Amino acid sequence: MLATRVAKLPEGAEWAYEVKWDGYRIEAVKDEATVHLFSRRGADYSNRFKAVTNAVKTIQAVSAVLDGEVVAIDASGQPSFQVLQNRGKMPAGYQLVY
């Protein structure tokens, strides 16, 4: 799950790139009605990010593994790692995205 630094980006149609968001890298694992969210070190974040857990449950598949990032963003689309780290309620104007 960790990125690797390289001197030159790979080229070709098989490569895709994405923005580096300021969030938590999370692997979502769905097995029938059960969903778990894991950090790169194996910590279970399913209860911490319940909205993401519930959203993954709605995926129309018996099983799935998703690799993404949970980010707290404001109305203008700016991420805030500080807001994400707050274990309390999401402040007004912010939303949790995966």
Tens-place pLDDT, residues 20-73: 788 999 999 999 999 999 999 999 999 999 999 999 999 999 999 999 999 999
Residues 6+ apart with CB under 8 A from 36: 28, 29, 44, 46, 53
CA triple 66-88-33, angle to 5 deg: 35
- Domains defined along the chain, listed by start: 24-97 (3.30.470.30)
Q: Which active-site residues does the annotation give? A: 20
pLDDT band at residue 16 using 50, 70 and 90 as cut-offs: confident
Tell whether the model's pLDDT for residue 1 goes beyond 60: no
